[in-house]
Chain A
Amino acid sequence: MIPSDSVVMTSVDEVLSWGRRNSLWPLTFGLACCAIEMMATGASDYDLERFGCGVFRATPRQADLMIVAGTVTLKMASRIRTLYEQMPEPKWVISMGSCSNKGGPYWHEGYHVLKGVDRIVPVDVYVPGCPPRPETLLEAVMMLQKKIRVQESSMGLLGALRKPA
C-alpha cells in the first residue's frame, strides 16, 4: 500500500505516453468486410475495451486512432484523407486487412481500388489477413501501444510550443 501523500517521480514523456496509449479512441469507420471483424473485436467475445481501446467515436474530432478496415476505393480515398486531417494530433492509423494494405484480391483487375491506404495516409501498423482474425487486430493494437511508448511523445506538445507555426 502506497501512502497517499507519497510522491512519484517520472518524466513528462512517460506520463503522456502512458495516458495516450491506454486511452486510444478509434473512429467508427468501417469500409467493408474487415469492419465486421472489427465489430466482432469490439463485441462480446473479444472485448477490445480491455486494452483501453474500445471507445468508438462517431466523429473524427474526438478520435485519435483510425482503423482503416476494408477496401479503399478511389472514390473513398479523398474522404479518408479528409477524415484523417479532421482528427486532432497526436493520431495513429492501423491498416486492417489485405485490401487496405496493398489492394488485396483487387490488386490485379481492380480499376477502382486504391493499391494501399499508405498512399494517402501514414500507416503505423499493418494487419495482414483477408479478413484478419480479431486476435490479430488485438495484437496490432498492442503493438501500436508499444510503439507509442517508445515514441518521444512530448514532441507533440512541447514541439508545438517551441516551433513557430
Chain B
Amino acid sequence: MSISQELVEGRLSQTTENLRTDELLLNMGPQHPSTHGVLRVVVTTDGEIVRAAKPEIGYLHRCFEKHSENVDYMGVAPYVDRLDYLASMNNSMGWAIAVERMVGIEVPRRAEFIRVIVAELQRIASHLLFFGTYGLDMGAFTAFLYAFREREKILDIFEMISGARLLYNYMWVGGVSRDMSPEAVTRIKEFIDYFEPKIDEYNTLLSFNKIFTERTKSVGIVDEATCHTYGLTGVMLRGCGVRWDLRKDLPYSIYNEVEFDVPVGSGQMGTLGDCWDRYFVRMQEMRESVRIIRQLIDRIPSGPHRGKVGKVVKVPAGESFTRTECPRGELAFYIISDGSAKPYRVRCKSPCFLNISTLNEITEGVMVADLIATIGSLDIVLGEVDR
C-alpha cells in the first residue's frame, strides 16, 4: 500500500512518530550568491530549522598585518584601502589619523574639510551597496539597479578628485593626496541635492514594502547584552537602540563642528534590534551624511591640502591605539613603532569580524531563509573579516 493511500485512510499518524529525522550538515559557500564574498557557513539543519551556523573564514586572508611590517607608514595606506574595499576612504582616514597622532603632525584645515566630506560620501556609497545587495538577498533585484545608479555618481566624483573608482589611496599621512577642484565641489553640491529625495524613493521601494518587512522584522535579533559580549559597534549597536557613535562621542577630525543626529533602531516594525532596524539605521545614516556634507561644502577654507611631511614619515618609538567610525563599525589600529621607517607591529581590529562571530548565536532556531536575511543585515566585507 502506498503512502498516499495510507494518508487517505489516516493510518500514517501512527507511523510519523517513528519517522527518523536526521540533522543535515550543509555547506553554504565559499561560492554562494548570498554570502557577500567568500564566506563559508557550516549549517546544521533540522528540516528547515537552523540548529547551528558556524562561519568559517580565511578564504580571503591577505596578510595585512605582515605587509604592514614590511613597508613604510605611507606604504601601508594602499593595503588599508583594500581591507574594507567598500569604504576605502574611511579606512585610510583611520590609518592616517593613527600615524598623525603618533608623529604629532598638524593637518591643514582644508584637508580636514576635504577628508570629512569625502568620508561621508564614501559612507553613502557603502550604505547604497548594502541597500542594493540586501535587496538582492531578499529577492528584490530592482533595488540593486537603483542603488548602483546613484553609487556610480559618487564614484565619478571620487574619480574626479582622486583618479580612481574603488581603491583611492587618497588620504595620506598629513592630509590628502590631491586638492579638491572647484568643479568637484560643484559636482558634490549637485549630487547631494539630487540624492536626498532619492532616499524617500528607496523607502517607498523597499523599506516599507510589505514583502520586505515580513522577511526582516523580528529576524536576527541582537540585544544590547550580546553587543557588549561580542564587542559589537557601529550599526549593530545602534540598531538595538544604543546611541553610540564615535563621531559624536569621541569626535576626531572636525566632526565636533558639524551637527548631525545619531539614528538608532526603534523596533518600529517588529522587535528592537532586528534586521529591519539595522537596515533602517543605515538608510537614516545616509540622510545624516548628506546633512554633514551640506554643512561643510560651502565652508571649505583655502590653504594647503597637505601638511609638512617628509617623503619618509619618521615615527618616534611608542604605541598608539586609534579608532574611527567606519560604515560597518569601529575600525581600530594598534601601532607599535620602534623608531624606524617601518612599523614594528600593526594590529587591525575590524568590526566585520566581530559582526560575523555573532552569527551562530543569533541564528539558532531560525528558518534557513532567515539565515540569509541575517547574514545580509550584518553587512560584512570579507576583506576585513579575514584581513
B280 at interface, CB cutoff 8 A? no
Task: Tell me if B85 is interfacial: C-beta within 8 Å of chain A.
Answer: yes
* Total inter-chain residue pairs, C-beta < 8 Å: 97
CB pair A79 B63 closer than 8 Å: no
Given the interface pairs A71-B60, A111-B63, the reply to whether A43 lies near B144 with Cβ below 8 Å is yes
Does A155 count as interface, using CB distance less than 8 angstroms? no
Interface string of A12-49 (1 = CB under 8 A from B): 00000000000000011111110111011001110000
Contact of B62 among A79, A83, A110, A130 (CB under 8 A): A110
A109 contacts B63, CB within 8 Å? Answer: yes
- Does B58 interact with chain A (Cβ within 8 Å)? yes
A40-B148, A133-B165 known; A33-B79 Cβ under 8 A: no
CB within 8 A of B149: which of A45, A73, A130? A45
Q: Are A45 and B61 in contact (CB under 8 A)?
A: no
Query: Is B167 close to A, CB under 8 A?
Result: yes
Is A32 within 8 A of B85, CB to CB? yes
Assess A106 versus B62: contact at CB under 8 Å? Given A33-B383, A36-B85: yes
Docked complex Cα distance between A88 and B166 (Å): 33
Q: Is A108 an interface residue (CB 8 A)?
A: yes
CB contacts (< 8 Å) of A131 on chain B: these are 165-167
Are A112 and B167 in contact, with the CB atoms below 8 A? no
Q: Which residue of A lies closest to B132 (CB)?
A: A43
Q: A45-B152, A75-B58 in contact; A28/B33 too (CB < 8 A)?
A: yes
Instruction: Please name all residues of chain B whose beta carbon is closer than 8 Å to the beta carbon of A130 when the two chains form the complex.
Output: 167
Interface size class of B (residues with CB under 8 A): 35 or more
Distance in angstroms from A33 CB to nearest chain B CB is: 4
Closest to B129 in A: A36
A39-B148, A44-B149, A112-B63 as given contacts; A30 in contact with B37, CB under 8 Å: yes
Interface residues of B in 42-61 (CB under 8 A from A): 58-61
Q: Report the minimal beta-carbon distance from A31 to chain B, rounded to whole angstroms.
A: 6
Contacts of A33 in B (CB 8 A): 82, 85, 166-167, 383
Residues from chain B with Cβ under 8 Å of A106 in the complex = 62-63, 67
| B295 interfacial contact with A, CB 8 Å | no
A108 with B166, Cβ < 8 A, contacts A30-B37, A79-B30 known: no
Determine the distance from Cα of A128 to Cα of B33 in the docked complex, in whole angstroms.
Answer: 25
Minimum CB–CB distance from A23 to chain B (whole Å) comes to: 20
Contacts of A76 in B (CB 8 A): 30, 38, 59-60
Residue of B nearest to A80 (CB): B31
Q: Which residues of B contact A79 (CB under 8 A)?
A: 30-31, 59
- Check A113/B62 contact, CB under 8 A, given A36-B129, A43-B148: yes
Instruction: Please encode chain A, from 41 to 83, with 1 for each CB lying within 8 Å of some chain B CB and 0 for all others.
Output: 0011100000000000010100000000011010110010001
Within 329-387 of B, Cβ neighbours of A (below 8 Å) are at 382-383
Once the chains bind, are A73 and B59 in contact (CB under 8 Å)? yes
A27 proximity list for chain B (CB < 8 A): 31
- Which chain B residues border A35 with CB–CB below 8 Å? 37
User: From B66, which residue of chain A is reached at the shortest CB distance?
Assistant: A109
Q: Is A90 at the interface (CB under 8 A from chain B)?
A: no
Least Cβ distance of A44 to chain B in Å? Answer: 4
Nearest residue, chain A, Cβ from B144: A43
Contact of B67 among A40, A70, A71, A110 (CB under 8 A): A110
A73–B86 Cα distance when bound, in Å, is 20
CB distance from B235 to the nearest CB of A (A): 19
A32 to B165, CA, bound (A): 15
- In the complex, how many angstroms separate the beta carbon of B31 from the nearest chain A beta carbon? 6
> Does A122 sit at the interface, judged by CB under 8 A?
no
Within 8 A of A (CB), among B62-109: 62-63, 66-67, 70, 78-79, 82, 85-86
Residues of B within 8 A of A60 (CB): 31
Cα A132 to Cα B86 with chains together (Å): 15
Q: Chain A's nearest CB lies how many Å from the CB of B69?
A: 8
- Whether a CB of chain A sits under 8 angstroms from the CB of B12 is no
Contact indicator B38/A31 (Cβ below 8 Å): yes
| Closest A residue to B59 using CB positions | A76
A30-B37, A76-B38 known; A105-B148 Cβ under 8 A: no
Asked whether B85 lies within 8 Å of A73 as measured between CB atoms, the reply is no
B70/A58 in contact, CB under 8 A = no
Contact of A44 among B32, B37, B79, B152 (CB under 8 A): B152
Residues of A at the B interface (CB closer than 8 Å) are 27-33, 35-37, 39-40, 43-45, 58, 60, 70-71, 73, 75-76, 79, 83, 105-106, 108-113, 130-131, 133
13 cross-chain CB contacts under 8 A: A32-B82, A32-B85, A33-B82, A33-B167, A44-B146, A58-B32, A60-B31, A73-B59, A76-B38, A110-B62, A111-B63, A112-B62, A112-B63
Known: A40-B148, A45-B149. 11 other contacts (CB 8 A): A28-B33, A32-B82, A33-B166, A33-B383, A43-B145, A73-B59, A76-B60, A105-B79, A106-B67, A110-B67, A113-B63
Q: Which 8 A-B pairs have the closest CB atoms?
A: A43-B148, A33-B85, A44-B149, A45-B152, A58-B33, A76-B59, A44-B145, A44-B148
